Structure 1
Amino acid sequence: MSKKTYLKPTINKVEFAMASKYGSPLKTQKIRSEIDGVKVSDLVEQFGSPLFVFSESKIKELYHNLYNAFSSRYPDVQFGWSYKTNYLNGICKVFHELGSIAEVVSEFEYQKARALGIEGKDIIFNGPYKPYEDLKIAVKEGAKIHVDNFFELNDLEKIADELGTTLKVAIRINMDTGVYPQWSRFGFNFENEEAYEAVKRMYDGGKLELNGIHSHIGTFMLDANAYKMATIKIMQLKERVENDFGATIEYIDLGGGFASKSHLKGVYQSPNVIVPTADDYAEAITNAIYEMNKSDTLPKLYLETGRALIDEAGYLLTSVHGYKRFPDGKKGYILDAGVNLLYTSTWYNFNIELDRHYEGENEPSMLNGPLCMNIDIIEEHVMLPALDRGSVLTISPVGAYNYTQAMQFIRYKPAAVLIDTEGTPRLIKEVDDLATVNYKEV
């Protein structure tokens, strides 16, 4: 009979509330043994670790919940999938099959949407930087151009001259909605008349016509009333430019920024308490349109929701490689996934779930990634039982931004899997290797 490995005893000061109806911090374990009926251990065995996993069923649930909240209140609603939130082809295809057009903020994302078969007329081209030649291609292909600045107006007037036609475009505006810091970097300001002057400039030039007004007031917005304020100001500008220039505003676009059920760092309350519902957002926006509309017809309503439709449908599986004791006695686990894959770890506390129940009491632990960087900390303080090498942890929600902003730094980017509505896991992105990294080097 082999001897057990000797572990030096440690004494840690544990600060926590006494046991309550929610359980004891020394005993309670959060467990996720499967995702959509597929064991996490089987996923890691088949596809490797770390591994991004996405649930098609959850995506559809989130989509239908939000879409129904708007379409039940307003007659003409169109979602545009925000490519920057998660541009994996397998994810984009799900949203397009559900009825979303594409919303892009770069030529790269525009090209990706076109490669997926999305026609130019079904692409919203946003963003502060649109290279001239790519902007011209988008114009020729009928994309919805949302103008960000006066230099872009100059470019569009030049393109109109080259094509010998008048172009229909929309503008992006920013405004004070009572939420700070105000997103004033993008688009033309409403309060100081810059937005109105931009429209006047269009009609003075005679080469551009305004057919849409767009705003994106922020990200992870916890105040639905801010969207009411944004909608009111968009509708005020709509009425003014229609009266002054004879413009026909065919659509308004309230952008995105709806919050997911992520847990913000420094916030005590649960996301279930502070995050507005789909109905809250829909009520704020649609009521403001009805109240402010002075035209005989209602404008089409576009929404570019990203985070709220994908965040809770994404998971990151990571395995324990080892552990060590720090000088203060805390146990530090070494995982095969780190902040290189979890960009949003700066702002959110993730759910950390075990693959099964482990014997023993919990103790204060730290979760560190594989990077040779002192900042590679996924969770600085979490109560965990003694985990084995190979134990699988599920980190969520991570569906929004984490894959697209994951770094090819020190470690290869992992594979990604989509579990379809039948419960079958399907590989949608292979793990990177040396050939991937070296592909464009010369």
Structure 2
Amino acid sequence: MDKLKYERPYIKKLTAGAMNKFGSLSGPQPFKFIDNVPVKSLVEAYGSPLFVISEKQIRRNYRAAYRAFSTRYPKVQFAWSYKTNYLNAVCNIFHQEGSWAEVVSGFEYQKALGNGVPGNKIIFNGPGKSKKDLLLAIENNSLIHIDHLEELGLLLSLCDGLDHQPKVAIRVNMDTGVYPLWDRFGFNYENGEAWRAVVKIVNSGKLQLAGLHCHIGTYVQTTTAFGVAASKMAALAIKCNTELKQHIEYLDLGGGFPSTNTLKGAYLPGTDTMPTIDDFAEEITGTLIRAGFENDDLPLLILESGRLLIDDAGYLLGTVLANKRLSDGKLATIVDFGVNILFTSFWYDHQVSPADDYSPTIENTAIYGPLCMNIDMIRESINLPLLKAGDHVVVHKVGAYNMTQWMQFIALRPAIVLIDEQEQVHLIKAAESLEHIEANEHIPRHLK
């Protein structure tokens, strides 16, 4: 009888992890495929680090969100938030699904036009619109959301001599019970500033007040705040109709819905604690339906959700560079991506999964990026198997903001690929090169 093969004994650390309603959370599992495409093949073809976007997940998210609102309210329109992720390929997925464009700068406005969005389906938000921006928006019949009195004054002056009234809305800020208040933007509801702006617009005779807009914050974790916002917006719309005989066509409730990422310092994971899109839809639509509008006169409900629709459709693939022990004995793993391309690691405890088979030994680990800054921390503390140089890892739910707010600092920005619904891979943004970085540099003759 052959002897059994010798296996070296090992000690496995007990890591029960946080608890949820199903019991203890399991440890990390190898994450080898994204939409059935091997992680290893993606890295081999496009390099490391690498952003990967799932078209299938984007469409799934959008349809679920639209269904949540449209099954509860008769008139719903989404407008894709360009600042969340303005890669043209990403934007066009949303536009194919029926989404308008919501932009906050002349740069984003030009991108929306370039993506073929009709001017009257572009919502122009933001406090920094230039004269040139406003003229372009007027020319294209876009919905201009006014942020402050100076902008209103400039817009009124640009309307002299026009043969039509540009469609506008005002942004309204208010107390919804979420603090600190987002009162930097727009006109305040409680002190009457919003009403005075409305009166000035209507009395000018130069602008058509088509809507009212609010955006109460970001990553709002309570549905009741949106209920308060919807109630105050509806009251303002009804007051416009009764006192000024001004019909409000739409109410734009903005965005700010959270994804299921786990915020730093949270006791439980975001998947267990964040309200669902159905929860938000129930609160908002129920409030509007009960607000007192005539049954046939409900305003169009516009939503500008960004993060919720794309966060979990984005992944960041990376490679382990080295391991070391910190002065307190804690294991530190160094990877080839840092906060320059994953700045949301300042906000979230991102899930990080090994993409290769690994040993059963689990250890509490800090994950650092390659930058020469002590703040280049991806995770301060995470239970991971022992990874070796050359192993690949996958960071989850990185689709929002990282690809619009990344920086070229020390390392070049990586490529981005899209996996379509047929599981085919497309390069949608090439990795940067030195030529890209130096293209706009000019050296004075005396320094050559």
- Give 1:325's aligned residue: 325
Which consecutive residues of structure 2, in runs of 5 or more, have no partner in the other structure? 1-12, 443-448
Name the SS of the counterpart of 1:130 in structure 2.
coil
- Give 2:388's aligned residue: 388
Q: Report the Cα offset of residue 22 of structure 1.
A: 6.4
Name the SS of the counterpart of 1:260 in structure 2.
coil
Per-residue CA deviation, residues 43-69 of structure 1 (Å, 9 max, x unaligned), is: 100111000001111111111111001
- Give 1:211's aligned residue: 210
- Give 2:121's aligned residue: 122
- Give 1:425's aligned residue: 425
CA distance in structure 1 between the aligned counterparts of 2:345 and 2:161, rounded to whole angstroms: 47
CA distance in structure 2 between the aligned counterparts of 1:244 and 1:344, rounded to whole angstroms: 46
- Give 2:139's aligned residue: 140
- The code of the aligned residue for 1:402 comes to N
Quick one: structure 1 residues 426 and 19, their matched pair in 2 at CA, closer, same or farther if it must change by over 3 Å?
closer
Per-residue CA deviation, residues 374-397 of structure 1 (Å, 9 max, x unaligned), is: 111101222222212211110011
Q: Report the Cα offset of residue 205 of structure 1.
A: 2.4
- The code of the aligned residue for 1:268 comes to Y
- Give 1:42's aligned residue: 41
Name the SS of the counterpart of 2:402 in structure 1.
coil
Name the SS of the counterpart of 1:407 in structure 2.
coil
Matches within 5 A, 1:280-295: 280-295=279-294
- Give 2:64's aligned residue: 65
- Give 1:245's aligned residue: 244
Give the alignment's Cα RMSD to 1 decimal.
Answer: 1.8
- The answer to whether residue 199 in structure 2 is matched with residue 200 in structure 1 is yes
Quick one: structure 1 residues 24 and 132, their matched pair in 2 at CA, closer, same or farther if it must change by over 3 Å?
closer
Q: Report the Cα offset of residue 269 of structure 1.
A: 1.9
Calculate the TM-score normalised by the size of structure 2: 0.92
- Tell whether the 8 Å contact from 2:77 to 2:302 is kept in structure 1 after alignment: yes
- Tell whether the 8 Å contact from 2:172 to 2:189 is kept in structure 1 after alignment: yes
Per-residue CA deviation, residues 383-437 of structure 1 (Å, 9 max, x unaligned), is: 2222122111100110111111111111111100110111111111000011111
- Give 1:376's aligned residue: 376
- The answer to whether residue 104 in structure 2 is matched with residue 105 in structure 1 is yes
- Tell whether the 8 Å contact from 2:142 to 2:167 is kept in structure 1 after alignment: no
Name the SS of the counterpart of 2:265 in structure 1.
coil
Q: Report the Cα offset of residue 162 of structure 1.
A: 4.5
Greater Cα offset, 354-363 or 397-406: 354-363
- The code of the aligned residue for 1:304 comes to E
Per-residue CA deviation, residues 70-101 of structure 1 (Å, 9 max, x unaligned), is: 11111111110000000011111111111101
Q: Report the Cα offset of residue 166 of structure 1.
A: 2.8
- Give 1:11's aligned residue: none
Per-residue CA deviation, residues 201-233 of structure 1 (Å, 9 max, x unaligned), is: 112322223110011111111111111110110
- How many pairs does the alignment contain? 427
Quick one: structure 1 residues 201 and 18, their matched pair in 2 at CA, closer, same or farther if it must change by over 3 Å?
closer
- Tell whether the 8 Å contact from 1:81 to 1:103 is kept in structure 2 after alignment: yes
CA distance in structure 1 between the aligned counterparts of 2:119 and 2:186, rounded to whole angstroms: 22
- The answer to whether residue 340 in structure 2 is matched with residue 340 in structure 1 is yes
- The code of the aligned residue for 1:227 comes to F
Per-residue CA deviation, residues 87-127 of structure 1 (Å, 9 max, x unaligned), is: 01111111111110100000000001111111211100001
- Give 2:86's aligned residue: 87
Greater Cα offset, 208-217 or 354-363: 354-363
- Tell whether the 8 Å contact from 1:311 to 1:400 is kept in structure 2 after alignment: yes
- Tell whether the 8 Å contact from 1:30 to 1:352 is kept in structure 2 after alignment: no
CA distance in structure 1 between the aligned counterparts of 2:161 and 2:390, rounded to whole angstroms: 62
CA distance in structure 1 between the aligned counterparts of 2:231 and 2:391, rounded to whole angstroms: 52
Which consecutive residues of structure 1, in runs of 5 or more, have no partner in the other structure? 1-13
CA distance in structure 1 between the aligned counterparts of 2:223 and 2:345, rounded to whole angstroms: 25
Name the SS of the counterpart of 1:264 in structure 2.
coil
Quick one: structure 1 residues 18 and 251, their matched pair in 2 at CA, closer, same or farther if it must change by over 3 Å?
closer
CA distance in structure 2 between the aligned counterparts of 1:244 and 1:111, rounded to whole angstroms: 38
Greater Cα offset, 415-424 or 15-24: 15-24
Quick one: structure 1 residues 299 and 231, their matched pair in 2 at CA, closer, same or farther if it must change by over 3 Å?
same
Name the SS of the counterpart of 2:52 in structure 1.
strand
Same amino acid, percent of matched pairs: 48
Quick one: structure 1 residues 18 and 32, their matched pair in 2 at CA, closer, same or farther if it must change by over 3 Å?
closer
Q: Report the Cα offset of residue 273 of structure 1.
A: 2.4
Matches within 5 A, 1:164-183: 164-183=163-182
- The code of the aligned residue for 2:387 comes to L
CA distance in structure 2 between the aligned counterparts of 1:351 and 1:202, rounded to whole angstroms: 48
- Tell whether the 8 Å contact from 1:79 to 1:304 is kept in structure 2 after alignment: yes
- Give 2:183's aligned residue: 184
Name the SS of the counterpart of 1:409 in structure 2.
coil
Name the SS of the counterpart of 1:186 in structure 2.
coil
